[in-house]
Structure 1
Amino acid sequence: MRVGIISASFPPDFGWDGGATRAYELAMGLKAAGHEVEIFALAAEIESVTIQDGMRVHRVLVDQKLVQLKVVPKTTPNVLTIWSSRSALWKAFLKAHAQRPFEVLDIPNILWDGLLPSISGMVPVVVRLQQNQSLYDKESIGAKSAFSLDSELVNQFSDLTLNMAEKIYSPTKELAAALVPSNPDKVDIVADPIDMDRFTVYGAMAMPKDSDRKLVIVGKVRDKAVHKYMCDVIKGVNHQNHEIPFLILAEDITSDDDEHHAQESVKGLLGEHNPVIVTRAYHQLLPDLLRSAQYVLVAPGSERVPYSWLEPMACQRAVIANSDPGCEQYMRAGEDAVLVKPFDVKASVNAVLELFEDRALRLKVGISGCRVVHESHCRRRVMGKLEDIYRAAIDNYRSEERAAARAMAMHDFVQRSEALVASYDKMLYDLLFVESPEFRFRHWFTKVAESKSPAAPIASTVAKIFGVKHTNGNSSPP
C-alpha cells in the first residue's frame, strides 16, 4: 500500500517532540509492515527531498509571501501561521500525488494538515485525534488574538477536516468522546505504537552500572516552572538520601551549547557537589539511557507525552507521572505507575524515596507497566489495526454514500460560513475602531445621533452640514 503522511514536524528537524515522535513511529511501523511510505514535513533551514530510514521525506519551508502580509497578522495570526506552513506542505503533496497517486493519506497530528486533501476528495484521508492539538483550544488562541474570527476559523476548518475524512482514529475512547461528541462510536481506537524491538527490558546501558538506584528525570529544562520543579525534587531527595544519582533528560535542547548552559544552570541551583548530569534525549540512545535507571520521573508538561511514559514502561522501569486525566487514560495509579499531582514536589519526593526503599514495589510497578505496553502498544499489533482502517477508508472513499456525505459536509460548511462572514464584518469594524481615531469619532458620533438624548438632533444637523457618514450601527466596539 502506498501511504502518504503529512505532519508539520518530523525528526530530526525541530527535534523529537510528541508530534514528531508520533509521526516517526507511524512511518517506521508502516515501513516495517511492508508499505511504501512518503512523508511531507516542514524544513528547519533548507528544502529537500531525501531518503531517510528507507522512506522518502519531503521537507518544505513556510510560504513567506503570506508571512509578509500587513493586516492579516493583526486580525487572524493563528490562521495565517497555520495556512502559510500548510500551503507549502499541500503543494509538495499535490506534486507527488500527481506523479504517483497515494492509496491513502494519514494525518497523525494537526487536523489542519489534512484540510485541502480532504476537501479536494482526491485521496482517502484518515485522521488521528490528538489531545490539545486536534481541535485548537479557544482560550489559548484568544490570548494571541483579540478577534474571535481567528479561533472560529481554526475550529471551523478543523471540524470540516473531521467531517470530510474517510476514517477517524483515536488513542483512547475518552479522547474520542471529547472531540467527536456527536458520534464517538464512529471513531476507531488505535493505541500509540511503541517499537518493542528497541525499548526492551534487557540490552545495553548508556551509563556505567555503578549503582542500581539511578533516577532519570524527563522534562523541559527551558521551562522555568519545570526546571525549578526538577531541582526542588532533587534537593528534596538529597536532603533525605544522598545515595541516589540523578540524570536529567532534557527534551527541549538540541545543541552542545544548550546542553552546557542547562548543566551550568542546574549547578547554580543545586551546587557543585551534586552529581546531576543533564543531557539531551538522544533518540538513538534513549533505550540505553532508560535502561540505566531503576525509575523514571516524567515532569509536568513533557513534550513527548505519551511516549515519555510508555517508553520507560516498555523497558520495565517504574514510572512516576502526573495524575491528570490524560495520564490516567494510559495507566492505572499505583498499578502500572506511581501518579502524583502536577508540580507537587513533596509527593514526588515521597514517591521517589518509596520506590528507592521498596524494591518489591519497584519491580511490581515496572512489570505491570511493561505488560500494559506489550498488550496494548506493541507496534506490530497497532499497525495491523491501522491497516484495517486504511482498507476501510479506501472502500468508503469509493462508495456512493461517502460521496453524498462529502457533499453534505461542504453544504453544512457553506451554511456555517454565513456566521463567519458576520464575524469577519465585526473583526474589520473592531480593527478600524482600534487603529483609526477618525473611525472612533464617527462611531461615537453615530451613537449620539441615533440615541434619544437631547443632543441627537444637534448631532444629526452637524452630520448634514459637514457630511459625517454614519458607521454601521450593527457593529460594536471591543
Structure 2
Amino acid sequence: MKVAYLTPEFPHEKTLPSAGIGASIFNLSKGLMQLNHSVIVIVYGQDRDEVIQEKDLTIFKVKNVKFKGFSLFLTQKKVQRLINDLYSTSKIDIVEAPDWTGFTSFLNVKCPLIIKLHGSDTYFCHLDNRSVKFKNKFLEKLALQKADGVIAVSNFVGELTNKVFSLNLKFNVIPNAIDVKLFNPIESKENECILYFGTLIRKKGVLEIPQIFNEVHKVLPSAKLILIGKDASDIKTGNASTWQLMKNEFSVNAKSQVQYKGQVPYAEIKNYINEATVCIFPSFAEALPVSWLEAMAMKKAIVASNIGWASEMIANTKEGVLVDPKDHKAFSKAIISILNDVTLQNNLGDAAIVKVKNMFDLEVIAKKNIDFYKTLINNV
C-alpha cells in the first residue's frame, strides 16, 4: 500500500522543529515501511519547497503561500494539487492528516482522506478550560465532517471530540506506537531519582510538580527531581516562562534538589529515563502521550494523571499508579511508596514493558492502520 501523511510537522534535520504529532507520524511511517508499504510525508508550513528522499521515505516540504487574507486557502489548494497529482500518478492510495486546526477543511482530494484525532485545538482548550478561537473550531469541525474515515489515538479523545463538536462520528481507535527495540532498559544506579520529561506547560500539569515534590522532600530529603523539556510561555498568566512560575513554588530546601536541564537532544532523553527511579506525568490534557510509552518501554515505574486517556494506557497499580494531579499529597505518597520499594519498582516496570510490547509496538499498530486503510480504499 502507498500511504501519504499530511502534517504540520515531521522530525528531520531539514524540516522545522517538530513535536508530538511529528513523532507519532515518524514512528508509524517506520512501522509501515518495515512491513514493505510505501510512505510519503507532506509537511506544510516549511521554509522552502523541497523534496527529500530517504531510502524508502519521500518527504515533500511545502512552503505556505503568503497572500494577506488568503494564505491558508491558497496553501490548502497548493497541497491539494500535490496530493491529487501523487494520486493520479499512482504514487499514493490514501492520505491521513491530523485534526489540529483543521487544515484539510477545504481540501478536495481524489483519494480517501482520513483524519486522525491526536487532539484538536478545540479539544485541548476544552480540557484546559480556555475559550477556543472561532476560526479554529469551525475549520476543525468542517475537516472532520468531510473526512472519509476517522482514527482516534484513544477512545477518550474520540468521545470528547464528538462532544465538543456536537458530532456523532464513527471512529476507529488505533493508539500511537513506539519502536520498543530502540529502548533498552538498564538497571538504574539512582535510588531516589524522579524524572519529568516533556514541555514545561500548564496543560501538562507541571505547575503541580513543585507542591508534589515539596511533599516528597519532607519525607525523603535526599530525593532528586530532574526536569527535561522546552520551557513554554504560560497562556493564563502571560508569563514568558513556565519554569519561572514553577521555581517560585518549590520550598527553599526542596529547590536545592531540583535540576532543570532544559531541552536535550532526543537521543539523550533515554539516558535520563534509564537513570530515573520513577517518571511522573501529572498532565491535564493529552490524547495518548508517546512520552508515557517511552518510559514504560524503559521498564520505569510511573505515577501519572488519572484523567481520561490514562486508563487506556495503564492499569492502575499494575503498570503504573494513576492519581489526581491536584491531590498533591496522594501524588507524592505514590512517588514515595515507589522510591521506598524496589520490588514495587520492578513489578510496575516489568508489567509496563509487557503492556507496551503487546499493545503499542510499531508492528502491532502498523498492521491495525493498514487494515483500516484497506476498508476505506475498498469502500470509498
TM-score (norm 2): 0.80
Query: Is contact 2:87–2:93 with CA below 8 Å preserved after alignment?
Result: no
Q: C-alpha deviations, 1:89-140, integer Å up to 9, x for none?
A: 43443454455531121224448344455x44x1122332334458786899
Match of 1:239 in 2: 218
Query: Is contact 1:109–1:134 with CA below 8 Å preserved after alignment?
Result: no
> Measured at CA, do residues 329 and 131 of structure 1 come closer, stay the same or move farther in structure 2, by a change above 3 Å?
farther
Aligned mates of 1:294, 1:139 — CA distance in 2: 30
1:342 is aligned, of 321, 325, 332, to 325
Q: C-alpha deviations, 1:242-279, integer Å up to 9, x for none?
A: 322322121457xxxxxxx9989877767684352414
Aligned mates of 2:375, 2:273 — CA distance in 1: 38
Q: Per residue, is there more strand in 1 or in 2?
A: 2
For 1:220, the aligned partner's letter is: T
1:379 CA displacement: 1.1
Aligned mates of 1:230, 1:139 — CA distance in 2: 19
1:390 equivalenced with 2:365 (yes/no): no
> Measured at CA, do residues 106 and 156 of structure 1 come closer, stay the same or move farther in structure 2, by a change above 3 Å?
closer
1:58-457 equivalences in 2 (<5 Å): 58-65=60-67, 68-69=68-69, 83=73, 86-110=76-100, 112-117=102-107, 119-120=108-109, 122-133=110-121, 143=131, 150=135, 153-154=138-139, 156-162=141-147, 165=148, 167-179=149-161, 187-202=171-186, 210-221=189-200, 223=202, 226-252=205-231, 273-274=256-257, 276-301=259-284, 305-397=288-380
**Unmatched tracts of structure 2, length 5 or more:** 233-240
1:49 equivalenced with 2:33 (yes/no): no
For 2:282, the aligned partner's letter is: A
For 2:218, the aligned partner's letter is: H
Aligned mates of 2:204, 2:351 — CA distance in 1: 31
Q: C-alpha deviations, 1:344-396, integer Å up to 9, x for none?
A: 33232222111111222222222222222122111101111212222222211
1:176 CA displacement: 4.0
> Measured at CA, do residues 227 and 390 of structure 1 come closer, stay the same or move farther in structure 2, by a change above 3 Å?
closer
Query: Is contact 2:121–2:137 with CA below 8 Å preserved after alignment?
Result: no
For 1:157, the aligned partner's letter is: L
For the residue of structure 1 that corresponds to 2:221, the secondary structure is coil
Q: C-alpha deviations, 1:319-344, integer Å up to 9, x for none?
A: 11111112223222222221121343
> Measured at CA, do residues 157 and 38 of structure 1 come closer, stay the same or move farther in structure 2, by a change above 3 Å?
same
Q: Give the number of equivalent residue pairs.
A: 364
For the residue of structure 1 that corresponds to 2:118, the secondary structure is coil
> Measured at CA, do residues 307 and 142 of structure 1 come closer, stay the same or move farther in structure 2, by a change above 3 Å?
closer
Q: Per residue, is there more helix in 1 or in 2?
A: 1
For 2:6, the aligned partner's letter is: I
Match of 2:238 in 1: none
Query: Is contact 1:109–1:129 with CA below 8 Å preserved after alignment?
Result: yes
Aligned mates of 1:380, 1:139 — CA distance in 2: 31
For the residue of structure 1 that corresponds to 2:180, the secondary structure is coil
> Measured at CA, do residues 105 and 252 of structure 1 come closer, stay the same or move farther in structure 2, by a change above 3 Å?
farther
Aligned mates of 2:359, 2:162 — CA distance in 1: 23
Aligned mates of 2:327, 2:129 — CA distance in 1: 28
Aligned mates of 1:304, 1:279 — CA distance in 2: 24
For 1:292, the aligned partner's letter is: E
For 1:128, the aligned partner's letter is: K
For the residue of structure 1 that corresponds to 2:42, the secondary structure is strand
Larger radius of gyration: 1
> Measured at CA, do residues 361 and 86 of structure 1 come closer, stay the same or move farther in structure 2, by a change above 3 Å?
farther
For the residue of structure 2 that corresponds to 1:49, the secondary structure is strand
Match of 1:421 in 2: none
Match of 1:6 in 2: 6
> Measured at CA, do residues 263 and 270 of structure 1 come closer, stay the same or move farther in structure 2, by a change above 3 Å?
farther
1:23 CA displacement: 1.5
Aligned mates of 2:197, 2:287 — CA distance in 1: 9
Aligned mates of 1:135, 1:94 — CA distance in 2: 30
TM-score (norm 1): 0.65
Match of 1:471 in 2: none
Aligned mates of 2:247, 2:158 — CA distance in 1: 44
> Measured at CA, do residues 225 and 29 of structure 1 come closer, stay the same or move farther in structure 2, by a change above 3 Å?
closer
Q: Out of 43-52 and 219-228, give the one that drifted further.
A: 219-228
Query: Is contact 2:97–2:104 with CA below 8 Å preserved after alignment?
Result: yes
1:318 CA displacement: 0.9
> Measured at CA, do residues 45 and 152 of structure 1 come closer, stay the same or move farther in structure 2, by a change above 3 Å?
closer
Query: Is contact 1:23–1:109 with CA below 8 Å preserved after alignment?
Result: no
For the residue of structure 2 that corresponds to 1:191, the secondary structure is coil
Aligned mates of 2:71, 2:284 — CA distance in 1: 23
**Unmatched tracts of structure 1, length 5 or more:** 70-79, 254-260, 398-478
Query: Is contact 2:190–2:275 with CA below 8 Å preserved after alignment?
Result: no
Query: Is contact 2:155–2:309 with CA below 8 Å preserved after alignment?
Result: no
